[in-house]
Structure 1
Amino acid sequence: MYITDPAIPFGSIVVVIGANGYMGVETCEKLLQAGFYVRGTVRDVEKNGPWMHNMFDKSWPGSFELVAVPDFEADGAFDEAFRGAKGVIYVSTPIIFEPDPVKVINPVIKGTINTLEAAARAEVKRYVLSSSSKAVESTIYDRPHHLSSNMFNYEAVRQACCEPSIDGFDRCLTVYSAGRTLAELAFWSWVGKNQPPFVANCVVPDGQFGRVLDAEHISSTFGMLKSAIKGNWDNVMGDLAYFTDVQDSARLLVAAVALPSVENERIFAYCHNSTWNRLRHKIRALFPDKEGLVVGRDQELSGRDLSNADQLINRAEEILKEIGRPGFAAEEDILRDFVDCL
């Protein structure tokens, strides 16, 4: 990454909430590469400390630490973690997959507001929320439409809050989507109402693939693609639309915390549009000699996402170019990195 005149000084503490997740680990590495001190939060330091320090301490000695934040909803939960920090990146919100919206929506909103209030008390200068494509819309195949930066998934909110609660995957996904939608709306509403002392940005990722820095401790969308190429569809959550290299998504998070030119933006980490079956076929074509790499049956689902996100993709690529990247990584490179880590 190439950042010459950051909005916060090099060496500043940047807190990464959810540092042990798939994108969290990448974000920690990109921050360290850029010249910042990283303080990651995890629920259990004893569990995550050894492998994460082993990953970063050799290349960046004395520039990485972990602190425990086991309960995002507790009053003052983030006060100690944010002490002395100049930047905060909220990479990973708690994933609660339940049919009851009360059990899902309230905790996600409470955790988000807790981080914002703690950031204001700590006089943080930059705050970045990593949201979700589910906060924009639910994936619906074969419906042409344009995506814009002011779209929110109000339909998921309506269904979650107004329709009967029925156990099942579709209901849980709808409630999860509603939670992510309302959490991001609460974020923007809080920022607008309170006018905090920090610049607030939001990055909206969809599917994240590519390499994995520590395969033993990662699941997320990397794990779903692993399941898809094996035909284990019970482990694949939802339909695929857009995906990017996880490293590019992490770079956008770092750019959002560090670039003075990025203020009060909703940045979409969208690039390649595909389906699980198309990725299976692409991987098989890229690695014809790897027997047993792609097995099982294709997903029993036809069609694909037909949305147009060109303007959103172009803006994200402008930001990537500002930090020295050529734009988003090519699909083939992302899939090669993925296979290399299996």
Structure 2
Amino acid sequence: MTANTCPGKNVLSTHRRISVGEWIMVTGANGYIASHIIDILLQNGYRVRGTLRSHEEAPWLAEFFAKEYGEAVFEVAIVTDLTDSAGFDRAARGMSGIVHSASILPSTSDVDAVVPHVVAGTRNALDAAAKSGSVRSFVLTSSSIAACMPEFVKPNVVVDEYSWNQGAPAAAYSKETPAEALPLMIYAASKTLGERALWDWVAWKHPHFSVNAVLPNFNMGKPLCPKITTSSMPHVLALLDGAKPRTDIIQPQYFVHVRDNARLHVAALLDPTVQSERLFAFAEQFNWNDVVGILRRLEPDNKSIPDGPKDEPRDLTNVDKVRRRAEALLKSNFGVMGWTGLEESLTEALKRT
């Protein structure tokens, strides 16, 4: 179901694991997903400490949230990188919840510059939560790619909470992997091993706080603020100016509106019925021909929009079970009836203000 009848509804139900007014730490606060998570938390009366690598990274961020929600509800803490364990420890002090959303998007073929750092980030965030003594809930932003790659040949391959992308780490470290495929494989390995580190840590440490992971697929929708540049939307909107579809990095798969993804993170953090779960943010399938068709309907006079790829496949994975669980949480926590659809997501994104 993708009939989200309340796209702006971000008000939570009253039964929550953490009380209104308490502090939540969100890492990578200037990120596309993290900023939407922060926005929903602030809308619901929580206070947020967002981490950045430096004050210079996003000097506008605190001012942006202060303008929207007033002073003293958002503050910045510096965690210089994912290996900065002392920075994580300082940032987690006094927090009631943590959403660890910071990660690395590979811009290099050096696997060791990415994967070990992402794994260290997961462990450092968890260790900081344990040391704080105050954290009661922890959520990791994982990725669908930690569970599976899109499937174009075998129909009805079931993806569920037990699914793992077993081949990604080997491919990331293999010298046989083609150079053009390596960045994606490094990203997949970092997300797979980063989430594995989460559950291994939980099994070893038996923490006093709840732990959950959210596995979103390709995110669409407007960034919260134009200054947020980590959105995946530029690859899509570039078609309006005649750019060819980036089939090299964005295959046919499922997508999710970034707002629904953020809502699911907040539900994982605050809903006391969610415990030790992997929640999958999969709205509906899409491919480039779907995108082209919608963009042409939205801008019928735009002759620059290119044709979609010929004989383009669709992702054949079966995610019905995990979609239903996530959709039920969106309904019970936010009152939204289904996921935001592809056309609505693109329509919103075209409003470039």
Q: How does 1:1-342 map to 2 (within 5 A)?
A: 1-50=11-60, 52-61=61-70, 62-123=72-133, 124-144=135-155, 145-161=157-173, 163-164=174-175, 168-229=179-240, 230-233=242-245, 237-289=249-301, 291=302, 295-299=305-309, 302-323=312-333, 324-341=335-352
Deviation per CA, 1:69-106, whole angstroms, max 9, x where unpaired? 11220232201111100000012312234334333221
- Shift in CA distance, 286/198, structure 1 to aligned 2, threshold 3 Å: same
With 124-133 and 90-99 compared, the bigger mean Cα shift is at: 90-99
Q: Which amino acid aligns with 1:44?
A: S
CA contact 1:84–1:122 (8 Å) conserved in 2: yes
Structure 1 match to 2:4: none
Structure 1 residue 236: deviation in Å? Answer: 6.3
What is the distance in 2 between the residues matched to 1:281 and 1:142? 24
Q: Report the residue type matching 1:331 in the other structure.
A: L
In 2, the alpha carbon distance for the partners of 1:176 and 1:46 equals 26
Asked if the contact 1:206–1:243 (Cα under 8 Å) also holds between the matched residues in 2, the reply is: yes
Q: Which amino acid aligns with 1:282?
A: I
* Paired residue secondary structure (1:143): coil
Matched position secondary structure for 2:77: strand
**In the TM superposition, what is the alpha-carbon distance from 1:210 to its structure 2 partner?**
1.5
Q: Secondary structure at the match of 1:65?
A: strand
Q: Is the 8 Å Cα contact of residues 228 and 236 (structure 1) preserved in structure 2? A: no
Letter in 2 for 1:69: V
- In the superposition, the TM-score normalised over structure 2's length comes to 0.90
Question: How much does 1:191 deviate?
Answer: 0.8
Q: Report if the CA contact (8 A) 1:97-1:176 is conserved.
A: no
Per-residue CA distance 1:29-79 (angstroms, 9 max, x = gap)? 0000111101111112234132x2332213321211112211220232201
C-alpha distance after superposition, 1:303-328 (max 9, x if no partner): 11111111111111110011222221
Which portions of structure 1, spanning 4 or more consecutive aligned residues, are displaced by more than 6 angstroms? none
Compared CA separation, residues 47 and 182, structure 1 to 2 (3 A): closer
Give the Cα separation in 2 of the matches to 1:152 and 1:135: 6
Q: Is the 8 A contact 2:140 2:214 kept in 1?
A: yes
Q: Counterpart of 2:215 in 1: which secondary structure?
A: strand
| Aligned length, in residue pairs | 338
Given residue 59 of structure 1, which amino acid in structure 2 is its aligned partner?
A: E
**Unpaired runs of at least 5, structure 1:** none
What is the CA distance between 1:301 and its match in structure 2? 6.2
Calculate the aligned-residue CA RMSD, in Å: 2.0
CA displacement at 1:165 relative to structure 2:
5.3
Q: SS at 2:250's partner residue?
A: coil
Query: What is the TM-score normalised by the length of structure 1?
Result: 0.92
- Structure 1 distance, partners of 2:89, 2:136, is 15
* Counterpart contact for 1:113–1:190, Cα < 8 Å: yes
Q: Distance in 2 between matches of 1:122 and 1:57?
A: 26
Q: What SS does structure 2 have at the residue aligned with 1:8? A: coil
Distance 1:320 1:53 in 2: 28
The 1:304–1:198 alpha-carbon spacing in structure 2 relative to 1, beyond 3 Å, is: same
